[in-house]
């Protein structure tokens, strides 16, 4: 039987033929991809020509094109539409891929050729992109252990293979814990305080799960957060919240405590083998931050500004509890409930007042409209095209001159086969082929937004609106890419700039009037609601910043170990660290250790990146505010210097080219109401 992964894609825009791909196709395709790459690497090594950029570095970047294609499709599906078979394949292939990568990056003959090119780089008349790629390819060999003695290299290989298996298992456990929990309510009285839309969603969830006449709430945020905001049943708020915060910490077959312990210790051990003081030192070397001290300085500055604000918010909530005649101290499972009540009291703003104006389809069109006004690009729905899931939508993206930019998939709603959160990925990245022809990207946005009910479309919360704009910013970054070679080197703490800057447009009055229309009447959002949104900009910012920074500091704490800690108890370590940092007990870190997927899935010693990028995006957006929200020159400058060049030039230089100077932290503090 023909394996579609190994053939040219005869589909519109050569997107993956999702409707033809079966689970059984992946392992043979992975094996073939590794085999092809090994042959290509062997040809580079055996070449009698003097090593240069084209026959060595460029050839290396193109050596794994089949493997990259198979990997992009597999991991895209495994995260957004997984099943037992895909999870089993992931467990089998993960250590094999790790071994395969190590055999390339630790190949002494290949490194010799790369070093030859690197040593002669000044004589080669390289383009700026080529020079940047060469620099980073060479560094990657060094950072992988190419200069280590063979025994130490072998230890690094063993650690890498073990880490690939452990991080995969950690994520699968979080998904299983999320899917396995359900709070089933049988008594209608227990729904007290919940809006009708929340009740209806819970009823439909129950029906899908076989609970006729009941209501089901889960630890998916689209189910949990509305319950925490509105439920008058404090005991049930606690029950659901505790289930969420204890994922991976239930001493069952999906427990993540020992897995995280081993991950953290293996990373510390590998850093030591590679000559670094800690895993954080190793990871930050290629990022804008460079050193743990620079990260901690930023985190502490915002922490010191945000913590007093959070304490004021706590006191305000405690006062409300007492004014209601209640006799209990505010707890973490009460925060959302009383925050919502205070927002209603202070700003006469209720989440349920906003949702009718944020129909998913309208918000999506608002994001498209923003990109059109900034860059002149257009989005047209495609129906006769394979999609990664029946829920997914496909759009053809054209540039301002009508030329094809790429294909964008959008997959919005939660399901048991999809991991939580929201993300943007590529089924195919931008590049130029051997003949210099442009290969256009196929990008995907995956979210977990509130599903439509029997009588209502999907109505988003304000947070979900900003999430859609955020992921859309990542998509623009991929669609506008101008890289020549299949490989780019994006700094983790720069990657969130294109996404986070897009959030600024989401709530600007000028944009709200364009896309925020009542789902029943079609009326645009009234000035009174826009005014309330603007006035409540600083609302709950103490909480939002403190919960985020607590998680960021926890991430850094795990990854600044100078050596493995054999006696590490992750929950005791977490508790002690957060207490010493001064986190108030009424606020939990955004992620507890046992379900903190960011730090096992690419943001290790990197969760701070959202804050680092926030400094950039707030500073960058000030240029738009000064020159005009849709100023063509500013937008063109941002596209040229940030979106097109991300991953093929030094991020610090890119930002200075756009802004004309280094970023300042004051716009961030000012926009979050934290500047004294």
CA R_g for the chain: 25
Which structure tokens are listed for 153? Answer: 């290299």
Q: Give the DSSP H or E segment for 378.
A: strand 378-382
Give me the torsion for CA of 397, 399, 401, 404, rounded to 10°: -50
Work out the pLDDT band at 676, boundaries 50, 70, 90: low
306-313 average pLDDT score = 97
Position 675 scores a pLDDT of 83
pLDDT tens, residue by residue, 144-183: 999 999 999 999 999 999 999 999 999 999 999 999 999 9
**Given a cut of 80, is residue 1 above it in pLDDT?**
no
Structure confidence by residue, pLDDT tens digits, 87-119: 999 999 999 999 999 999 999 999 999 999 999
What is the C-alpha to C-alpha distance for residues 164 and 316, in angstroms, rounded to an integer? 46
Can you give the pLDDT at residue 434?
A: 86
How many CA atoms lie within 13 Å of 179's alpha carbon, on the beta-carbon side? 15
The domain segmentation of the chain, as residue ranges, is: 4-105+107-144, 181-245, 355-535
4-105+107-144 architecture in CATH?
Up-down Bundle (1.20)
Mean pLDDT of all residues in the chain? Answer: 97
* 175-212 core/surface letters (b: 16 or more CB in 10 A; e: else): bbbbbebebebeeeebbeebbebbbbbbbbbbeeeebe
pLDDT at position 178, please? Answer: 96
Q: Which two tokens stand for residue 426?
A: 């590529």
Cα separation, 134 vs 22, in Å, equals 38
**Residue 519 phi, psi dihedral angles, 5° rounding:** -65, -20
* pLDDT recorded at residue 351: 87
pLDDT at 350: 87
- Count the neighbouring beta carbons within 10 Å of the beta carbon of residue 155: 15
Cα separation, 346 vs 122, whole angstroms? 63
Instruction: Give the pairing type, strands 404-411 and 442-446.
Output: parallel
Q: How confident is the model at residue 396 (pLDDT cuts 50, 70, 90)?
A: very high
| Per-residue confidence (pLDDT) for residue 631, from 0 to 100 | 97
Instruction: State how far the Cα of 312 lies from the Cα of 541, in Å rounded to an integer.
Output: 11
Share of the chain above pLDDT 90, in %: 97
| Domain covering 355-535 assigned CATH 1.20.80.10 in the classification | no
Nearest to 170, CA basis, from 496, 577, 604: 604
The C-alpha atoms of residue 85 and residue 485 are separated, in whole angstroms, by: 33
CA 27 to chain centre: 27
Cα 609 to Cα 399: distance, rounded to the nearest angstrom: 30
pLDDT tens figures, 488-537: 999 999 999 999 999 999 999 999 999 999 999 999 999 999 999 999 99
If you average pLDDT over residues 580-599, what whole number do you get?
A: 98
Please report the pLDDT score of residue 454 as a whole number.
86
Give the active site residue among 65, 169, 466, 471.
471
pLDDT single digits (tens) 342-357: 999 999 998 889 999 9
Residue 667 to residue 673: CA distance in whole angstroms: 10
Region 620-625: mean pLDDT is: 98
What is the CB neighbour count within 10 angstroms for residue 552?
30
Q: 480 or 676: which carries more pLDDT confidence?
A: 480
Cβ within 8 Å of residue 583, ≥6 positions away: 546, 550, 589
Mean pLDDT of 610-617: 98
Tokens of 656: 């200075």
Q: CA–CA separation, 34 vs 51, rounded Å?
A: 23
Per the structure block, which two tokens stand in for 403? Answer: 């030329």
Element (H, E) at 511: helix 509-515
Is 169 a residue of the active site? no
The residue-averaged pLDDT of 562-573 equals 97
């Amino acid at each position: 039987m023909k394996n579609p992964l190994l053939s040219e894609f005869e589909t519109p825009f050569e997107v993956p033929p999702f409707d033809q791909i079966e689970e059984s196709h992946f392992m043979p395709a992975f094996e073939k991809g590794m085999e092809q790459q090994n042959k290509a690497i062997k040809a580079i090594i055996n070449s009698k020509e003097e090593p240069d950029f084209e026959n060595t570095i460029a050839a290396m970047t193109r050596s794994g094109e089949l493997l990259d294609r198979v990997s992009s499709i597999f991991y895209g599906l495994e995260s957004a539409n997984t099943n037992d078979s895909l999870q089993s394949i992931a467990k089998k292939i993960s250590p094999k891929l790790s071994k395969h990568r190590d055999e390339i990056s630790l190949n002494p003959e290949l490194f010799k050729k790369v070093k030859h090119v690197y040593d002669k780089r000044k004589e080669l008349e390289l383009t700026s992109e080529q020079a940047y790629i060469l620099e980073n390819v060479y560094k990657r060999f060094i950072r992988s252990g190419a200069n280590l003695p063979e025994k130490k290299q072998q230890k690094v290989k063993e650690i890498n293979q073990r880490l690939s298996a452990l991080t995969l298992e950690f994520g699968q456990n979080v998904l299983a814990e999320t899917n396995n929990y359900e709070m089933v309510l049988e008594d209608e009285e227990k729904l007290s305080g919940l809006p009708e839309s929340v009740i209806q969603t819970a009823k439909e969830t129950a029906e899908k799960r076989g609970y006729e006449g009941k209501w089901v709430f889960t630890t998916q945020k689209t189910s949990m957060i509305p319950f925490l905001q509105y439920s008058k049943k404090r005991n049930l708020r606690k029950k659901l919240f505790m289930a969420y915060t204890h994922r991976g910490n239930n001493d069952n077959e999906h427990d993540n405590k020992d897995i995280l312990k081993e991950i953290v210790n293996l990373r510390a051990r590998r850093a030591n083998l590679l000559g670094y003081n800690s895993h954080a030192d190793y990871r930050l070397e290629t990022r804008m931050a460079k050193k743990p001290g620079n990260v901690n300085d930023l985190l502490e500055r915002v922490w010191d500004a945000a913590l007093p604000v959070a304490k004021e918010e706590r006191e305000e909530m405690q006062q409300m509890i007492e004014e209601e005649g209640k006799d209990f101290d505010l707890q973490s499972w009460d925060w959302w409930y009383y925050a919502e009540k205070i927002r209603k009291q202070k700003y006469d703003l209720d989440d349920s007042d906003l949702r009718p104006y944020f129909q998913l389809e309208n918000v999506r069109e608002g994001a498209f409209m923003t990109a059109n006004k900034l860059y002149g690009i257009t989005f047209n729905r495609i129906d006769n095209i394979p999609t990664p899931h029946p829920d997914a939508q496909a759009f053809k993206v054209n540039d301002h001159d009508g030329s094809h930019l790429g294909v964008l998939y959008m997959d919005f709603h939660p399901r048991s086969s999809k991991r939580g959160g929201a993300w943007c990925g590529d089924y195919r990245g931008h590049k130029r082929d051997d003949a210099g022809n442009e290969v256009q990207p196929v990008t995907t946005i995956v979210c977990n937004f509130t599903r439509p009910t029997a009588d209502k479309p999907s109505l988003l919360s304000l947070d979900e609106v900003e999430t859609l704009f955020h992921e859309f910013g990542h998509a623009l970054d991929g669609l506008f890419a101008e890289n020549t070679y299949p490989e780019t080197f994006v700094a983790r703490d720069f990657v969130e700039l294109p996404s986070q800057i897009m959030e600024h447009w989401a709530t600007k009055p000028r944009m709200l009037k364009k896309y925020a229309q009542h789902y029943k009447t079609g009326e645009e959002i009234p000035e009174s609601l826009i005014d309330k949104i603007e006035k409540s900009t600083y609302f709950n910012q103490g909480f939002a910043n403190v919960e985020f920074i607590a998680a960021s500091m926890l991430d850094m704490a795990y990854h600044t170990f100078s050596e493995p800690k054999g006696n590490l108890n992750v929950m005791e370590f977490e508790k002690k660290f957060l207490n010493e940092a001064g986190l108030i007990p009424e606020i939990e870190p955004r992620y507890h250790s046992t379900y903190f997927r960011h730090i096992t899935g690419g943001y290790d010693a990197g969760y701070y990146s959202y804050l680092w990028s926030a400094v950039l995006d707030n500073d960058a957006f000030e240029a738009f505010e000064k020159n005009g929200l849709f100023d063509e020159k500013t937008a063109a400058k941002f596209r040229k210097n940030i979106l097109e060049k991300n991953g093929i030039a030094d991020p610090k230089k890119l930002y200075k080219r756009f802004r004309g100077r280094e970023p300042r932290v004051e716009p961030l503090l000012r926009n979050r109401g934290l500047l004294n």
